[in-house]
């Protein structure tokens, strides 16, 4: 088993900074504001050849109301899941009533816990230990998470006595140690979840369209915070799970508003994380509010997903409770305004009640398969020849555009490279014709397709240029000769 370690504490004590330090990522949003972390954030970390799971949580203050109460519930759930709890306290702020409340809860739960006195810059370590000793959780371990000071010593103490599986122990015995999190070391960026975690599905859309509700419904548990307020989700949360023996990774993202309405610095970071999640995903489920219909900002966000080349499924949420007339109007608007993503499956769902949510998986599977399937050059060339035979490209300057053969240039999204002559003159309408032909013949669903043209070089181009230069020089000599002859004739007349 891989040990699970939870980071808990009151707001703004440095939990997310510590999370980024230990996982060597920048997955958690960090800032000089309290309450930035809201949902549980999971990450994989290693120390001296042994892996463990780290959970970042929102702050607990003891007087939560509304959304803060749901944040605290997420933190308490993380404590229950963890094998070890790192209870972070602020050494500069000192011992507070909220710290006392969290300490009492940990003692009642009988969890293996360590008090981590963070932010000990310019503070005597012995004083920090003494101040937090009344908690009854042992001596506080002094660290400075932002700079890495004391983190290595902390990990040696915390991970001592935990059990790993045989493979992890063997790796550790062979000395396969990771780089130490040294003082002053900058956090290193590592890739997101790998393909071993299955299809990565990003849930995107405007604020308050029901993305987090949909994530919880697909998981079958209250994994992320759902609250009747736009902007509840601030970070991109990666959640691996299995369904019918198929592996998936759900990515819950923050809602993206119009650029002119984004004023808070935190929201700007959230938007960046959402756009990164789109690029990191294999398939995007684009969620819209059926009662609001298709708005202009939906089209902007859809355009970004298309430019990123992501396979796509569209979900119209809050479909329950609408009258037949309202539903007919929404369907007409979808056909009119979403014609550029007519390859994507559209589902009418209710994330709150679960209606139609199960049907999303088949579309996700089909879209992913279409995006990553590879075809031989012979197959793609045959489709090109048949398409040209049915509808030849137009003439350019009296010459026919010749498309010779095609091959696969990449996947996710599929890139088809076509070689020929005068390909720079192929009109956009003919490109769309080829895209639709490949999509129909190859039965591509849910993924954009890109076509790239490459012209063949003319081996006699340099000879042509030389002949042209020769002709120009001959013309110049003739003009010079005619000028001299004209001058002689004028001189004779005089």
- Check which CATH number belongs to the domain holding 426 and give it: 3.30.300.20
CATH number of the domain encompassing residue 125 = 3.40.50.300
Other beta carbons less than 10 A from residue 212's beta carbon: 27
> Is residue 186, in this structure, part of any structural domain at all?
no
Report whether 22 contacts 46 (CB < 8 A): no
Confirm if 312 and 367 have CB atoms less than 8 A apart: yes
Identify whether residues 434 and 467 lie together within a single domain: no
Q: 362 and 330: one domain?
A: yes
Same domain, 342 and 435: no
- Tallying the residues shown for the chain, one arrives at 494
Helix ranges, 82-150 (H): 97-109, 125-131
Quote the percentage of the chain above a pLDDT of 90: 14
Tens digit of each residue's pLDDT (9 = 90 or more) over 332-344: 988 888 888 889 9
Question: Is 301 inside any structural domain?
Answer: yes
Q: Per the structure, how many domains does the chain have?
A: 4
Instruction: Specify whether 219 is located in the same domain as 287.
Output: yes
Q: Tell me the average pLDDT of the chain.
A: 77
| Residues 126 and 266 placed together within one structural domain of the fold | no
Q: Are 445 and 343 in contact (CB under 8 A)?
A: yes
Residues 347 and 206 in one domain: yes
Domain boundary (342, 372, 402) is at: 372
Residue 166, phi then psi, degrees to nearest 5? -65, -35
- Interatomic CA distance for residues 5 and 111, integer angstroms: 11
Q: Please, which pLDDT band fits residue 407 given cuts at 50, 70 and 90?
A: very high
Q: Which of 312, 346, 372 is the last residue of a domain?
A: 372
Is 435 found in the same domain as 351? no
Distance, CA of 390 to CA of 392 (rounded, Å): 7
Could you tell me the residue range of the domain that residue 320 belongs to?
195-372
The pLDDT score that the predictor gives to residue 470 is: 66
- As to burial, measured by CB atoms within 10 angstroms (0-12 exposed, 13-18 middle, 19+ buried), residue 324 is exposed
226 and 368 fall within a common domain:
yes
Weakest mean pLDDT among 39-48, 179-188, 212-221, 240-249: 179-188
pLDDT band at residue 231, thresholds of 50, 70 and 90?
very low
Choose one of 320, 350, 372: the last residue of a domain.
372
At 181, the pLDDT band (50, 70, 90 cuts) reads very low
- Note whether 468 and 343 are same-domain residues: no
pLDDT tens per residue, range 133-167 = 777 778 888 888 778 788 888 888 888 877 665 55
400 and 292, same structural domain? Answer: no
Under the banding of pLDDT at 50, 70 and 90, the label for residue 225 is very low
- Of 71, 327, 298, 295, the C-alpha closest to 205 is 298
Q: For residue 387, what pLDDT is reported?
A: 92
Buried b (16+ CB within 10 A) or exposed e, 86-103: bbbbbbeeebeebbeebb
What pLDDT is stored for residue 147 in this prediction?
80
Whether 432 and 470 share a structural domain: no
442 in the same domain as 469? no
């Amino acid at each position: 088993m891989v040990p699970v370690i939870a980071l808990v504490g009151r707001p703004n004590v440095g939990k997310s900074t510590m999370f980024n330090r230990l996982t060597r990522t920048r997955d958690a949003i960090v800032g000089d504001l309290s309450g930035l972390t809201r949902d549980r954030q999971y990450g994989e970390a290693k120390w001296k050849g042994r892996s463990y799971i780290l959970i970042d949580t929102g702050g607990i203050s003891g007087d939560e109301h509304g959304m803060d109460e749901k944040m605290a519930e997420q933190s308490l759930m993380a404590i229950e899941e963890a094998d070890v709890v790192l209870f972070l306290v602020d050494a500069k702020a000192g011992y507070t009533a909220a710290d006392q409340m969290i300490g009492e809860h940990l003692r009642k739960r009988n969890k293996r816990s360590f008090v981590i006195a963070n932010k000990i810059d310019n503070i005597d370590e012995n004083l920090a230990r003494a101040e937090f000793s009344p908690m009854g959780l042992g001596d506080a371990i002094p660290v400075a998470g932002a700079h890495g000071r004391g983190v290595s010593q902390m990990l040696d103490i915390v991970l001592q006595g935990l059990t790993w599986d045989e493979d992890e122990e063997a790796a550790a015995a062979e000395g396969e140690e990771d780089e130490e999190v040294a003082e002053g070391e900058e956090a290193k960026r590592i890739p997101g979840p790998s393909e071993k975690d299955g299809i990565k599905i990003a849930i995107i859309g405007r604020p308050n369209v029901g993305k987090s509700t949909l994530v919880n419904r697909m998981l079958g548990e209250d994994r992320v915070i759902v609250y009747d307020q736009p902007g509840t989700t601030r970070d991109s949360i990666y959640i691996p799970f299995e369904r019918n023996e198929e592996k998936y990774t759900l990515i819950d993202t923050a809602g993206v508003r119009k650029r002119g309405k984004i004023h808070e610095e935190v929201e700007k970071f959230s938007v960046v994380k959402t756009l990164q999640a789109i690029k990191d995903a294999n398939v995007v489920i684009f969620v819209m509010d059926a009662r609001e219909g298709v708005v202009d900002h939906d089209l902007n966000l859809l355009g970004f997903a298309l430019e990123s080349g992501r396979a796509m499924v569209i979900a119209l949420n809050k479909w329950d409770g609408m009258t037949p007339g309202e539903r007919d109007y929404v369907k007409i608007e979808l056909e009119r305004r979403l014609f550029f993503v007519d390859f994507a499956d559209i589902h009418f769902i209710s994330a709150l009640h679960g209606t139609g949510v199960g049907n999303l998986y088949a579309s996700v599977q089909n879209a992913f398969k279409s995006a990553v399937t590879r075809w031989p050059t012979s197959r793609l060339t045959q489709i090109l020849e048949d398409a040209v035979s049915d509808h030849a490209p137009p003439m350019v300057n009296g010459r026919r555009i010749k498309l010779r053969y095609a091959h696969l240039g990449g996947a996710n999204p599929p890139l088809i490279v076509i070689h020929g002559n005068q390909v720079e003159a192929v009109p956009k309408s003919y490109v769309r014709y080829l895209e639709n032909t490949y999509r129909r013949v190859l039965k591509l669903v849910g993924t954009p397709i890109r076509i790239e043209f490459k012209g063949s070089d003319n081996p006699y181009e340099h000879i042509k240029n030389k002949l042209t230069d020769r002709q120009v020089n001959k013309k110049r000599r003739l003009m010079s000769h005619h000028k001299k002859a004209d001058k002689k004739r004028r001189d004779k007349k005089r």
